[in-house]
Structure 1
Amino acid sequence: MKHAQFSVDYPDRLVHPLQRGMMRDSPVDRAELLMWSPTADATTLFWFDGDRDAADALVSGVDSLVRAHFVEGAEGTYGFLHQRDYEFADPLLGVIADSRVIFLPPVVFHATGSVRFEAVGEVSALSAFYDDIAALGDLTVERVQPFDRRRSPSQLTDRQRAALETAVSTGYYEIPREGSVADVADALDCSTSTAGELLRKAEATVLREFVGSG
């Protein structure tokens, strides 16, 4: 069994309506589809890297939306969305339905147009899925590794990765320490408390991955 991470850019006709709104004029640069309902109704939990108003304005442009509830967090906004339809394009849904792989959350939508997602399956099944998706968009395989059921599928967010990279470049992890959380906050244009939280969450994710990999 293999665990693969993909990134794909679809032509406009296959872009999800929510991502199309991000690509046009939304302050939201990243939206993560964290969970989805196993039932017929399209109930999802999203995370948006913007405030409540930005998230609300973005999802209001999705025609199938029935209702939404938002909860603001330190780094962004969670959205519980109830829709009549998931609104993924039919050709894409056809490939997903015919595939012999399983998909792991999150599905990450970027305002640049790229979509990042992860899938698990046998090598032959992943290869066939790659061929089918590559026929629909510009597909890149970012990582392939053995599947470990104990490993969390969570990945660093763009902001967490930026915080770590900034901390390294400013000497925060040097011995003796040359940089500070305030330096990271200045570089990211955020508060010191937000920078500290970004670093703590990023460090926790990296350490869990390291310990889990043995």
Structure 2
Amino acid sequence: MSDDHTHVQDFFGARAADWDSRFPDDGPAYAAAVTDMGLHEGDRVLDAGCGTGRALTPLRAAVGRSGVVVGADLTPAMLQAAVGAGRDRDGQLLLADVAALPLRSQSLDAVFAAGLIAHLPQPTENLRELARVVRPGGALELFHPIGRAALAARQGRRITPDDLRAEANLGPLLAGSGWRMTSYVDEDARFLALAVRDG
């Protein structure tokens, strides 16, 4: 396992047990973000870096019982917390690295990714892997329940020009990874970028 993976697992593993209690008010933001994806009954969707699975329930509601919901995360403790919260009833949980997904090419209609992009060790390659598993015309949503400026202030840091989530950086990054960004919102209450899988 790479040092990047070990760091991510250590960071999230140490925080998994109380993650949901630290951010108790995020549920409606996740539900609204899922609504913005425009999923349909029967769609197949991946929650990439699903953590404790807060998006799984709204994703299941969006795709219905005929749809497929998969949650993939690198950190066992996060998936255990998802099971503890009963969210494994809404989606299949996979202990997997988003850099090498055990999924067939073009097998999904959409990918939801909350707070993921800042933790990708190789953003271009990793976003390309997400593109691999999505059909042409499928969707990617990059989401965070707090905007970039508000998150930086919470963490006691400043936004730097090389922030991957800046619109000027994210658009070209997605374009070089098989995606075309279609909308971008960065407000205090949320960060949300939508992209379509190029054909």
**If the length of structure 2 is used for normalisation, what is the TM-score?**
0.26
| Greater per-residue strand proportion | 1
Q: Whose Rg is larger?
A: 1
Task: Flag the structure with more relative contact order, 1 or 2, with Cα contacts below 8 A and sequence separation at least 6.
Answer: 1
**If the length of structure 1 is used for normalisation, what is the TM-score?**
0.25
